[in-house]
Structure 1
Amino acid sequence: MVQVRADAYDCDVLVVGGGIVGLSTAYALTRAAPGTRVTVLEKEPGPARHQTGRNSGVVHSGIYYRPGSLKARYAVRGAAEMIKFCAEYGIDHSVTGKLIVATDRAELPRLHALVQRGRENGIPVRELGATQIAEYEPEVRGLAAIHVGTTGVCDFTAVARQLARASGAEIRYGSRVVRVDRRPDRGVAVLTSAGQVVRARVLVNCAGLYCDELARLTGDEPGVRIVPFRGEYYELARPELVRGLVYPVPDPAFPFLGVHLTKGLDGGVHVGPNAVPALAREGYGWGVVRPRELAATAGWPGAWALARRHWRYGAGELHRSLSKPAFLDAVRRLVPGVEERDLVRAPAGVRAQAVTRDGTLVDDFLIREGARAVHVLNAPSPAATASLPIGREVSRRTLEMLRAL
């Protein structure tokens, strides 16, 4: 067992996880309380190697999220702050706007509901008829659409690197946590795979795909388990077919936005993702299988409840994963001119989706506290967009905990 001496802290706050949320937390801590000693442990050789660096780079407006929810508040505020942060530090970004397009009459009520939700969240939207869609996207077809002008794209990996530099925190890469010894009266000690021991007054868990496991290592029961969903992408070989960002109308029963097209900063177009169960926490392809992690997912009652409740939706996602023509059909609902040869495989991402014991997909950010520990247990999209306000919230809770010691 790792021992902790009360007089031998290496830092005040130990952040586990060098993705954008962990680094934003470190950044917020040192700004809110200068002199606070912060150390970040990241198991990879650099920052943003997983969820942060494996998405389509969209700065979300906040239009999808329930008014009053953390996602809505943080996304609206975070989008403006992210663009400002990128401009301040010279990080590539662009405010492109996006279209959300209804291609079926059954989607029209949901599209109108999004207009209302956007207005409640303070987001300006423009409603478009079928003929007006071409003003923004000549190759897109639909019955109606809305244009959201505050959506954009940026380089989130560059943002994470800048947060690491600007935080002034000690960043230790290649440091995977293997053991945690927490004594409420004496602090927290963490043992890394390299044999290092780091002692801190408070631990902040921003471990993403492994956040539930880290919470249990700390001695806290998170009440949820991470069920990994892989999002598979293609690149569009004819990027001239799309000018900006084009999305379908999402199904409100799921925290996924559906297959969409994203014009990147390099002029290429990212197409996807779908959402299929991954066979490992970092299962970026069907060939990546980790039996222990798969067994842990299968052993969580919520995973089976989720499968029973949503098997039809899941079957469709699996079909699109295994069949390129099926994926093409989803794309052609929005852009009929896309052909099968236009879709070129691109790297996949994995989403850390928290699932409760009864099979509910946790839709909002989930932050819980234990003795000398703050756990970020669900940070879904738009976490990258909202990372600056999320970091401040985690920092606020952490500093209150420090002051109470």
Structure 2
Amino acid sequence: MVKAAAFDCDVLVIGGGIIGLSTAHALTRAAPGTSVVVLEKEQGPARHQTGRNSGVIHSGIYYRPGSLKARFAVRGAAETVKFCAEYGVPHEVTGKLIVATAREELPRLHALVQRGRENGIPVRELGPAQIAEYEPEVGGVAAIHVGTTGVCDFGAVAAQLAEVSAASGAEVRYGEEVLLVDRRPGGVAVRTSTGRIVRARTLVNCAGLHCDRVAELAGERPGMRIVPFRGEYYELARPELVRGLVYPVPDPAFPFLGVHLTRGVEGGVHVGPNAVPALAREGYGWSTVRPGELAATLAWPGSWRIARRHWRYGAGELHRSFSKRAFTAAVRRLLPAVTEDDLRPVAAGVRAQAVLRDGTLVDDFMIKESPRAVHVLNAPSPAATASLPIGREVARRALAHLAEV
């Protein structure tokens, strides 16, 4: 066995988004005295997926009963509210409406009611008059009210997790992009963009948009590829049109949820997102193109299979990306009073979606292990909501690897 002195830390976490920081937090709580280092390539926490979403604390109603998403989202929603209250992070439990705008959507709405109940989520069914009591400007033939949904500032949650973890002994280092990973007897060593070498007994990969690349650096063949999808948002110039959160009924034939309305903790109303292919993993606009990353996406067979399977849906999303009129028309299904002038563009986000070789979009969280390593390979929405339970699960696995060394 290699002596402990040969290592700089027990657990090295790559990625300073909400999952990496939740993992560091869980490690310091579950095993005090365990030395933890978090490496984040940006100059602060939560600069990508965590800090560029609509801030919704998801209830877990959409997810298959028994899946990691369902279990962790339901548990994580309550824990996120408790964490925010404990540390003074802005948040509110608002509830949300899921609205059927046409009669053909009613069977899917009723199926959501059943799924919610199977997941232990309080759900109330509403008719048109009751919809108006919650949201006077929203049109629909029926809806369900989900009481456990809320909103918060997930960037602030991540920053607080970093602070709490550091106070418990973890070291969070910013501006340290991991370039090389070397497996060594009893551990791993990484080299960062600053030239620093960090040696650890166990590696945890929470690199989000770059998790597959980090896994490959560690010698893994993850069997998936992150295919980035950009979500474009607008903000309502008339936020008084929406009181809370309003969602469409999802269509299982399509890969993403669709445009929804979210009143945030700051009082503004986000509208979106759509979902279009990003030309870089951090491609927050059409002008951001990274040829190497784009080539890797195009070389992955699953990318082309997604395109063939969902080309009609994708064409509609692209149309809405380039046409504000088309985007407005999509919003008006839920909010008839909205006009093009009501929509002001705001910052976009990129979803780190894992795609298998056969074109399957990985539906659940994906956590894989190898000797001395734990890799979080699919953690898009609702991962921010579920971050505390995910962090505990990843920490549990990392500590089990430590026990084996």
Structure 2 length-normalised TM: 0.98
What corresponds to 1:214 in structure 2? 214
> Counterpart in 1 of 2:76?
78
Structure 1 CA distance for aligned equivalents of residues 112 and 249 of structure 2: 9
Distance 1:387 1:6 in 2: 30
1:2-401 to structure 2, matched below 5 A, reads 7-168=5-166, 169-183=170-184, 185-401=185-401
Corresponding residue SS for 2:6: coil
Shift of 1:255: 4.6
1:205, distance to aligned residue in structure 2 (A): 0.2
| Distance (Å, rounded) in 2 between the aligned partners of 1:255 and 1:209 | 18
Unaligned runs of 5+ in 1: none
Q: Deviations along 1:22-57, whole A, 9 cap, x unmatched?
A: 000000001000000000000000000000000000
Report the Cα offset of residue 8 of structure 1: 1.6
- CA deviation after TM superposition for structure 1 residue 186, in Å: 3.4
Paired residue secondary structure (1:261): strand
1:255 touches 1:363 (CA, 8 Å); kept in 2?
no
Whether the aligned pair in 1 keeps the contact of 2:152 and 2:265 (CA below 8 Å) is yes
Distance in 1, Cα, partners of 2:355 & 2:396: 26
CA shift digits 1:200-231 (9 cap, x unpaired): 00110000000000000000111000000000
In structure 2, C-alpha distance between the alignment counterparts of 1:387 and 1:264, rounded to whole Å:
19
CA RMSD of aligned residues (A): 1.0
Deviations 1:275-332 (A, max 9, x none): 0000000000000000000000000000011111111111111111111011001100
Q: Take 2:252 and 2:81, find their aligned partners in 1: how far apart are those partners?
A: 27
| CA distance in structure 2 between the partners assigned to 1:295 and 1:82 by the alignment | 38
Identity of aligned residues (%): 80
Q: CA deviation at 1:7?
A: 3.8
Give the C-alpha shift of residue 106 in structure 1.
Answer: 1.7
- The amino acid of 1:373's aligned partner reads A
State the shift of 1:104 in Å: 1.4
1:256 shift after superposition: 2.1
CA deviation vs aligned residue, 1:256-282 (integer Å, no higher than 9, x gap)? 221000001111000000000000000
Query: Structure 1 residue 179: deviation in Å?
Result: 0.6
Unaligned runs of at least 5 residues, structure 2: none
Q: CA deviation at 1:6?
A: 6.8
Larger CA deviation: 126-135 vs 22-31: 126-135
Give the SS at the match of 2:105.
Answer: helix
Q: Name the SS for the 1:51 alignment partner.
A: coil
- Partner amino acid for 1:376? V
Q: Check whether the contact 2:254–2:310 (CA below 8 A) recurs between aligned residues.
A: no
How many pairs does the alignment contain?
A: 401
Contact 1:6 1:187 in 2 (8 A): no
* Cα deviations by residue, 1:130-189 (Å, 9 ceiling, x for unpaired): 121001000000010000011000011111011111113101100001111112x23111
Provide Cα deviations, 1:372-403, integer angstroms capped at 9, x if missing partner: 11000000211000000000000000000110
Alignment partner of 1:404 is 2:381: no
Letter in 2 for 1:182: R
C-alpha distance in 2, partners of 1:401/1:256? Answer: 35
Instruction: Give the TM-score of the pair, scaled to structure 1.
Output: 0.98
Contact 1:48 1:157 in 2 (8 A): yes
Is the 1:231–1:348 contact (alpha carbons within 8 Å) kept by the matching residues of 2? yes
The alpha-carbon deviation at position 371 of structure 1 amounts to: 1.4
C-alpha distance in structure 1 between counterparts of 2:255 and 2:44, whole Å: 29
Structure 2 CA distance for aligned equivalents of residues 255 and 38 of structure 1: 37
CA distance in 1, matches of 2:63, 2:186: 41
CA offset at residue 5 of structure 1?
8.3
- In the alignment, the residues of structure 2 paired with residue 280 and residue 23 of structure 1 have an alpha-carbon distance, to the nearest angstrom, of 24
CA contact (8 A) 2:186 2:372 kept: no
Amino acid at match of 1:374: V
Structure 1 residue 199 displacement after superposition: 0.5
The answer to whether the 8 A contact 1:21-1:383 is kept is yes
For the residue of structure 2 that corresponds to 1:141, the secondary structure is coil
Structure 1 runs of 4+ aligned residues shifted over 6 Å read none
